[in-house]
Amino acid sequence: MQPSFVLRQALQLALTANALKPPRGARTAVPAFFAGWLTGELAPHLLALTAADTAAHVARHGSKSSKAGLTLAAASAAGLGTLIAQSQRARGEIETALTEGIGTAYTEELDHPPSPTDLATPWGQLAMPFRMRDPEVRRERDIAYAPGGKRFLLDVYSPREPVTGAPILLQVHGGAWVIGNKDQQGLPLMLHMAKRGWVCVAINYPLSPAARWPAHIVAAKRALAWIRENAGSYGGDPSFVAVTGGSAGGHLAALLALTANDPALQPDFAEADTSVQACIPHYGVYDFAATTGHRSSKERLKTLIARHVFAPDKDPEHFLDDYIAASPLDRITDDAPPFFVIHGVHDSLVPVGEAREFVRRLREKSKREVAYAEISGAQHAFDVFPSIRSAHVVRGVERFLEWSYRTWRRRQGG
């Protein structure tokens, strides 16, 4: 028996099993997320490594190869193959969400309807998933949008060839309101959109516990006000801004979309236009105040939001209205812009039921279109780097953004 080979294959099988069916519960949520996220999005690479490891083992040991290890490797390979097949479903799930949410003929609104090549899996790009740069995209770093240091900086991504009047995408990073920065998230989508003529802006914002709510959303609105004043210098059209983000960034993106021009969140700049024309939150936190009573929302409110994000003297029991004012689920009105809500079925950190309830309420109240995609096998943060799944989601988001922009232009008479 070759213990190292058996151990490697046992570990890989455990990771694969967790990705296929992550355990539920607050205690296992974080480890299940980290293990499942990387395994699910890197399944083709792990399958190749499993095959190479097995081939090397057989070549070295021949008839004395570990039967236990080979059995584990075969089971792991089958599971990784299932994960790859799940990832490929994202293309159909995204397209179904778009046709159901914005209409079966939505592609007629696009300047360039998607071709079979556009819809195919970009295997060449996925071979090196952590190499995220594009020679056709220019990035201008660390531009101050307000006083206060590095947490008030943004980056602008634009086409290498100069543009004018380009629609704008604002990206808000996640990290549970306590970690993260503009360099780490949203890159596949921003590079993709900038290459196709959009101007994309990724922002930092103050983090807790050093900063307390509502500093996070106030900063996001300040960044939006900066975009409205300065985007023209970078080729952008400040009259059309879509916003996106994941996790805590999804919460801030959704809240930004639902609190346009709210003077309570715009101290000293109440005159600024902080409306957005479309919103695409990924695996966002919507039940911020736990008003649904769901166990996961109540646990998050107690252990994270009340303890680290809000001021220590503002407990939810006595200041519930302040938490509700910060909750997208409780701020929906009929003036909401078009939404495309995206969530993973296997999300261990923000259960998919939270997105379902948010979408239900949006569709009940909003006068505008609401598309919703549940992505099979997807964990939290599935779109951080290029993968089969994230590539299909990015291309679907591109179609939604293009549709939103063209529809908005038509309504403006353009």
Q: What's the token pair of residue 150? A: 């590095």
Establish how many alpha carbons lie within 13 A of residue 221's alpha carbon, considering only the half-sphere containing its beta carbon.
27
Helix/strand/coil for 88: helix
Answer for the pair 339, 360: CB distance below 8 angstroms, yes or no.
no
Cβ(382)–Cβ(41) under 8 Å? yes
Active-site residue among 297, 380, 390, 404? 380
Beta bridge partners of 157: 139, 200
347 counts as catalytic: yes
- Residue (of 87, 5, 17, 88) closest to 49 by Cα position: 5
Is there a catalytic annotation at residue 294?
no
Q: Whats the size of the chain, residue-wise?
A: 414
Q: Taking the CB of residue 64, how many other CB atoms lie within 10 A of it?
A: 10
Q: Which amino acid is at 207?
A: L
Residue 409 CA to residue 402 CA, distance in Å, equals 11
Catalytic option among 134, 155, 237, 347: 347
- Label residue 195 exposed, middle or buried (CB < 10 Å: 0-12, 13-18, 19+): middle
Catalytic choice (66, 76, 87, 247): 247
Q: Known catalytic residues?
A: 247, 347, 380
